[in-house]
Each structure stands twice: as C-alpha cells, then as structure tokens.
Structure 1
Amino acid sequence: MTRSARRTRRTLQVAGVSVATLLAVSACASSDDSSAKPDSSGSAAPKLSGTVTVFAAASLKESFTTLGRTFEKKYPGTKVTFSFGGSDSLAASITGGAPADVFASASPKTMKIVTDAKDAAGTPVTFVRNQLEIATLPGNPDKIASLKDLTRSGLKVVLCDKEVPCGAAAQKALDASGLKLTPVSYEQDVKSALTKVELKEADASVVYRTDVNAAGDKVEGVEFPESAQAINDYPIVLLKDAPHADTAKAFIELVRSAAGRQVLTGAGFLEP
C-alpha cells in the first residue's frame, strides 16, 4: 500500500473515531447533571459556574476546543476560554501575571517555569503524550521518506523554535540520528510551522502527529523511527489564585477522564 493510500485510510479512521467520540462524549454530558449529584456527605454538590481561562499548547487546540464545548454543555452557566500558543510563551505570560486558571503544557520543561515561580496550585499531572511526524506537501512530491531526507540541498524545511517543545523534540531526534539541519525558519509554535507547509511556503516541517491529523488533506504525514526517542509528555495543572477554582478543577477532571481521553487519543495523542 502506498503512503498516500495509508494516509487516506488513516484520515478516514480518525474521522470515524472523532464522530463516534463526539457522540459518546455528548451522551455522557447530557446524562450527567452536576447540580443534582450528591457529594460524599449526601448533600447536593454545589453547582459550578463562572469562566475558566485555559492556557494550552497550540497542538491541543482542536481537542481542547471540543472538550470546552462538552464542558459547557455538561455544566450550564460555565464558559471555557482558551489561549493557545507556544508553551514557553504561555508559561512566561503566566509568571508575568496574566490571569489564567489552568495551564496545559507540551513539555515538563515549560511546566517547570510555572511551578518554579510558585504559580501552580498543585502538582502537574501528565494527561497525554505526543510524537513527531514530518509534514510534507500533499502527495509528498519531494519523496521524503526519512528524517535524513530533510537535509537534502534545496529542500525548504521549517522547524519550531528550539525553546518550544516541538522544536526541542525535533532537535533531540536530529541529535539522536547524528543529523544537522538548517531550516529556512524557526516558528514560535507548531501550528505556525505547519501553516508554512499548508501555504506551500515550505516543502516540509517537523510537527506533531496530531497536527498532521488535524490538517487533513492539506498535508501528508511521514513517520520516522527517531521520533520514538523524542516523545513529549503533556502536563496539566490548576493555577494559583484561580477565581473559579472548583470549575477549573472540574475541567481538568474532564480532560483526564475516560471521555476526555477518547477525544485526545482520537486526535492522535498517546496514552500517558
């Protein structure tokens, strides 16, 4: 089977999983009324309300947007707002005083920026992992089949900045294979790196598998074995002084629940 055929089959499989997952999660949400569930003392649990502000890695955009809608349906009167971007930039914003309730990072290193500044209200927990893939132009016209192929003369390759988790992981994979690569540009987050390929401003980019899946037929994905040496853990944590801490905790619980895991693994994320 050709790579293109495998890609088409995987896209259809992911689409099927996504539809099934959304139906399952929606059913779960409609059958669970937070205002009627008793706590351990037998009293009715307090109804959740307020806006939860979530700072999350750019690669989580599609999955978290879906989970945000599910959360709002499950808990009427709540709202989830997101700020997606490079994990290092988000961490700097949090330590700089930007108001947020939850931080979901694409690496323990960027999460440590927040915990070292004592801006976390608890211990971060890994909820998913992610693996790299090469994104090429549709049909893979340059016949890229390996990480080494990206070093070919004349090939325009884009990477994430080395301070961003996807860039650090790409550099780790290159180092593991003994390869040196000079990209035409370094991008501030994984979505920006992928967009360069989608707009045909680059021939290829090293991004997350989940982003290749989300792009559909705008790009083609090429797996490479060195990616197994650079898998990123994604931690999530409640932030200090969250104005609606109970609501923020409930969102984190949804992300870590079986229903949340279905959405995330359906997008291509790996189990923690």
Structure 2
Amino acid sequence: MTRPARRTLSIAGASAAALLVLSACSSSSDSSGPAGTSDGSGRSSASSPKVSGTVTVFAAASLKESFTALGQAFEKQHPGTEVSFNFGGSDSLAASITGGAPADVFAAASPKTMKIVSDAQDTAAAPTTFVRNQLEIATLPGSPGKVASLKDLTKSGLKVVLCDKTVPCGAAAQKALDASGLTLTPVSYEQDVKSALTKVELKEADAAVVYKTDVKAAGDKVQGVEFPESAKAVNDYPIALLKDAPNATAARAFIDLVKSAEGQKVLTEAGFLKP
C-alpha cells in the first residue's frame, strides 16, 4: 500500500472514532437533558407517549389557586395542551365522578372522599397523598369580634360559618370542636371552603373555620387566627388517575407535575404541608 493511501485510511479511521464518541455523548445527553426529555425512569422522550389534548381535573376548592398555577405551568411545558378544572366540595366532586362525569384526575381534600371513588372502582391506580392541610379561623382584619381562639367562636351573638359536615373542611372542624369539648351552632353550613370564606369577606359572617391555605390566598381581605386544636384535624390530600380517563397520558403527566419538586414548591408556598 502506498504512503498516501495509508494516510487516507488513517484519517478515515480517526473520523469514524470521533463520530462514535459524539454519538455516545448525544445519546447520553438525550436521556438527561431538559425537562420533558426523560420520564425519570431512564427512558428518553422518544419512547414516552406524547402529551397532548385536554386533561380534566376535578379538585377540592382549597386547591384552586395552586392548581391553577400548576395548570398554567403544565400548558407551558406541553404546548398544545389544556388543563380544564372543576373545583368544588370533594364530596360533590366524588358523587359526580361515580355518577359518570368525564374526568381524568381527582384530587380530594380527604381520604374519606377519595374512598367514595376508589370503592366504586373508578380509580385506575391506588391514590397517593401529595399534600396535607390544616385549619385556621378566618376573621375580618382587626378581628372586630375579638376572636383569638376556637372557644371564642362559641360567644353569643357571633356569626360563625362552617363547611358542611360532609365536606372535608367541615368534618375536620367538627373533629377539632369535639376534641375540645365545644359545641357550636353556625349561622350557615357551606358546601365548600371557598363559600365559607366568602361569607367573611362579604361581612356576612364574623368568622369561618377554613384552611390555612384559604386564609393565605385571601390576602388582606381576612385575618387568620391559629388554634392548637387544629393539629388534631389535619387533612391528607390524595390524588388519583381515574379509570375511564379520556386522556390518561396527559393525566399521568399532570399528576407527575403535582408530585414533582416544582409542584411541591408551588403547593408549600400556598401554605400546604408536605405529606
């Protein structure tokens, strides 16, 4: 073989080796690249189902602000998707799901209300707890009724609102009252925590027992009063993919976001407790 020929083969061999190295590097970066290129199990996006279309989420009213923010983040991460929410009392949402309402994800404010759905075999997998929430008393700024404790809610002439006992926030409030040996007759029972809080914001009530997250979300419209008995009535929030989810792929991706570090940051900043 002539010297020029040997040189040509040498260059070709070096080029092939370089291409192999670049290919290996590219393959490695693909499996650990930007968000969305890996599903956390080592599989690249090339093998992951494409997330598209609308994902319908039924969620407890107390999740409204944080889930709305997460929905916007989800749509940004997955262009062309849309997150449609139905917020309300967990018991009403559970009844709608077991009644056949089309939904992909259910996030409840208590295991008891989630159990309604799982007992009806309407969940595709076992629900998992993603956050917890604690009660707080909401009053008007300056606490005109001089509410400083749970016992103060029993004062004569004080207009107090509670969530209905079938709603998680109402069941938790009743549990706290029972633990304290207190009896309270509210001026009204509301079907979800936001409705109870609104009564105070509109000055139709002096106080309401709601979640810390709702007091925080209301900003300067209300004043929060913590009470030690709330520690005995902390609610776990479970989330689950529904069995007949019209968009199971997007539903799983949304649940992953909720449980991710990014999702947990949004939720804890809203006042939720880690599970």
Q: Same fold judged by TM-score > 0.5? A: yes
In structure 2, what is the equivalent of residue 61 of structure 1? 64
Where in structure 1 are there 5+ consecutive unaligned residues?
A: 1-30
Residues 136, 222 of structure 1: 8 Å contact kept: yes
2:143 aligned with 1:140: yes
CA distance in 2, matches of 1:229, 1:108: 16
Q: Deviations over 1:14-68 (max 9, x none)?
A: xxxxxxxxxxxxxxxxx8453x548746571332101100000000000000000
In structure 2, what is the equivalent of residue 238 of structure 1? 241
2:103 aligned with 1:77: no
The verdict on how the C-alpha distance between 1:42 and 1:181 changes in structure 2, with shifts beyond 3 A counting, is closer
2:208 aligned with 1:209: no
Q: State the AA in 1 paired with 2:223.
A: E
Q: Deviations over 1:175-199 (max 9, x none)?
A: 0000000000000000000000000
Residues 49, 249 of structure 2: 8 Å contact kept: no
2:256 aligned with 1:253: yes
Q: Secondary structure at the match of 1:252?
A: helix
2:209 aligned with 1:195: no
In structure 1, what is the equivalent of residue 91 of structure 2? 88
Residues 33, 75 of structure 1: 8 Å contact kept: no
Identity %: 78
**What pairs up with 1:143-182 in 2 under 5 angstroms?**
143-182=146-185
Q: State the AA in 2 paired with 1:136.
A: T
The counterpart of 2:133, out of the listed 106, 125, 130, is 130
Q: Deviations over 1:146-197 (max 9, x none)?
A: 0000000000000000000000000000000000000000000000000000
CA distance in 1, matches of 2:84, 2:115: 23
CA distance in 2, matches of 1:54, 1:78: 13
Aligned-residue CA RMSD in angstroms? 1.4
C-alpha deviation, 1:111, in angstroms: 0.2
Q: Secondary structure at the match of 1:172?
A: helix
4+ runs deviating over 6 angstroms? none
CA distance in 2, matches of 1:133, 1:258: 26
Q: State the AA in 2 paired with 1:127.
A: F
Residues 32, 74 of structure 1: 8 Å contact kept: no
* Greater Cα radius of gyration, structure 1 or 2: 2
Q: Secondary structure at the match of 2:218?
A: helix
Q: State the AA in 1 paired with 2:173.
A: A
The verdict on how the C-alpha distance between 1:269 and 1:41 changes in structure 2, with shifts beyond 3 A counting, is closer
Q: Deviations over 1:95-116 (max 9, x none)?
A: 0000000000000000000000
Residues 66, 267 of structure 2: 8 Å contact kept: yes
C-alpha deviation, 1:241, in angstroms: 1.5
Q: TM-score, normalised by structure 2?
A: 0.85
Query: May I ask how many residue pairs the two structures share in their alignment?
Result: 241
Q: State the AA in 2 paired with 1:143.
A: K
In structure 2, what is the equivalent of residue 14 of structure 1? none
Q: State the AA in 2 paired with 1:110.
A: T
